[in-house]
Amino acid sequence: MADQSNEEKTAEGLPPLHGTALVLLTIAVAFSTFMEVLDMTIVNVAVPHIAGSLGVSASEGTWTISSYSLASAIMQPLTGWIARRFGEVKTFVFSVFLFVVFSMMCGLATSMPMLVIARLMQGAGSGPMVALSLTLLLASYPKAKQGIALALWAMTVVVAPIFGPILGGYLTDNFSWPWIFYINLPVGIAAGAITWSLLRKRETKTFQTPIDVIGLVLLVAGVGCLQFMLDNGNDHDWFSSPMITTLGLVALVCLVFLVVWELHAKHPVIDLSLFRQRNFTVGVTALSLGMFAFFGINVVFPLWLQTTLGYTATWAGLATAPVGILAFLLSPLLGRNMHRLELRAVVTFSFIMFAATSYWFSTFDSSASFSSLVLPRFVMGIAIPCFFIPLNQIYLAGLPADQIASASGLANFFRTLGSSVSTAVTVTLWQHRGILHHATLSEYVAPSNPAATQVLQGLRHGGFGQTQALGIADQLVNREALTLAVNDIFWMCTVLFVLLIPVLWFAKPPFGSAGGAVGH
């Protein structure tokens, strides 16, 4: 173990943690990550309750989701700069503290503006948490066990969004919506206290770099407008709305200027030089586009179940949840054997499994039973750890310890952006394909079609008037149209997963025990 201790680059040359201290730190960091990622999805099912309680419309209620993701997306790429300025441990603990305080403020909110401001601040606090949780784990584990650290971290990031809707639905139905925020308090306080007590003497070196004001303004304006556009575009019919068009243009101009400025700034607020590393670029590209396809399935599937097949929020959650079972069981196993595996082959296997299960989903019709829908979700779980864990190692390969926070923050930003773009694109595409299929299927509801005539006659014999019979026929057509549309989305995701496979093989080994993450 002595060799590994010498290799480890902690702030004061301290050896890695072992035994109880390491277990406690892992639990604290894992739970803080779990809590942060959970909060992205836990609110989704509670939006109608929140909107009703605060006297606003359901579409205004979605501000509770978009305000959080907006602030979080802005803070993620800033993680590296903040951590260098104030130290990784202090930044992480303060981030957890802010998250806890504003979680309480969210629960106590009595009006929509109050809740939105609290969610913005909660999102800002949470931004550095996920990236720094990975950085702190890697710095505290012996090199030989860093694969397990990555696996445990990835497991919490993967499982949290799946539990979010189920836990949110349960708390909202059985208690009241503020409890979805109050549950963060004990977890956050314990996580912050444990992390500080174990790591306060292992603080990283700080650098008094000046604030890159122009870069910061461009980042906030660019990412803010982009996230707001993605969250609200669908409600405003995208670029037929002047507001969405303006937001899109502002985002484009700010982000283009941001890239140019940051590449030439003396003290950049985002370290874009990371993209000169081939493995980082390949890893982040595969992660973002893979997340786009994976998240698209996760958004459209429960929506289809609830709006088209008549599932309740709880049952839609239960149909979605089995994807977490194999992911949860396989993550530690994969992490323990990382050094023995060809990581590009592992991710290729995950993309093949994702593609196969997406194709499987694209074959379902509107009469699919609960058990037949659950089976591909269960099988898909095999692919999740094989996707997230090796990709984390690939994009961190060969980076020195002082760049891990920046790299992790930037990668998490692109992962979040992939999710946001995916939500906007897949929901819009689903609706548009639904309208197209509806128009095509409606052509068959004509007097010249014996099957349609038979159905309408049967409805009229059942005591329905002509208008009612046509209304029921329209509902049937709509149900089938939206099912065909959801099949199109799954088919699109299948194609994307297959196209991503060659991208991976541009990554260049060796990837080391933790992707060479803290190698020198």
**DSSP 3-state assignment of 183?**
coil
Q: Which helix (H) or strand (E) holds 257?
A: helix 242-264
DSSP assignment letter at 111: S
The pLDDT of residue 249 = 93
0.85 exceeded by pTM: no
**Where would I find the H helices in 443-465?**
450-461
Q: Over the range 270-282, which residues count as b (16 or more CB within 10 Å of their CB) and which as e? A: bbbebeebebbeb
d(CA 95, CA 112): 24
Instruction: Give the side-chain half-sphere CA count within 13 A for 33.
Output: 25
- Which tops the pLDDT comparison, 494 or 142? 494
Q: Rounded to a whole number, what is the distance in angstroms from the first to the last CA of the chain?
A: 18
Can you state the percent helix, strand and coil of the chain, rounding each to 5?
A: 80, 0, 20
Check: CB of residue 335 under 8 Å from CB of residue 151: yes
The pLDDT of residue 89: 87
Side-chain-facing half-sphere of 304: CA atoms under 13 Å: 34
pLDDT in tens, 398-457: 888 777 878 888 888 888 888 878 877 888 888 888 889 888 877 777 676 677 777 777
- Could you tell me if 34 and 92 are in contact, meaning their C-beta atoms sit under 8 angstroms apart? no
**The pair of three-digit structure tokens given for residue 478, joined into one six-digit string:** 């709509």
pLDDT band (50, 70, 90) for residue 58:
low
- The 10 Å Cβ neighbour count of residue 293 is 26
Count, in order, helices (H) and strands (E) of the chain.
22, 0
What is the spatial distance between Cα 396 and Cα 390, in angstroms, rounded to a whole number?
10
Q: Is the pLDDT of residue 268 over 60?
A: yes
pLDDT for 237:
76
pLDDT in tens, 323-346: 888 887 888 788 777 778 888 999
The whole-angstrom separation of Cα 331 and Cα 319 is 21
What is the Cα–Cα distance from 280 to 241, expressed in whole angstroms? 37
The whole-number average pLDDT for the span 226-244 is 81
pLDDT reading at 517 higher than 60: no
Please provide the average confidence, as pLDDT, over all residues in the chain.
Answer: 81
* Residues in contact with 11: Cβ distance below 8 Å, sequence separation at least 6, in sequence order: 202, 203, 204, 205
How far CA 192 is from CA of 30, 134, 176, in Å, comes to 12, 15, 26
Q: What is the pLDDT of residues 125-165, one digit of tens each?
A: 888 887 788 788 877 877 777 777 777 777 777 777 777 77
d(CA 287, CA 411): 8
Q: Which whole number is the average pLDDT over 497-512?
A: 84
Q: How far apart are CA 287 and CA 382, in angstroms?
A: 17
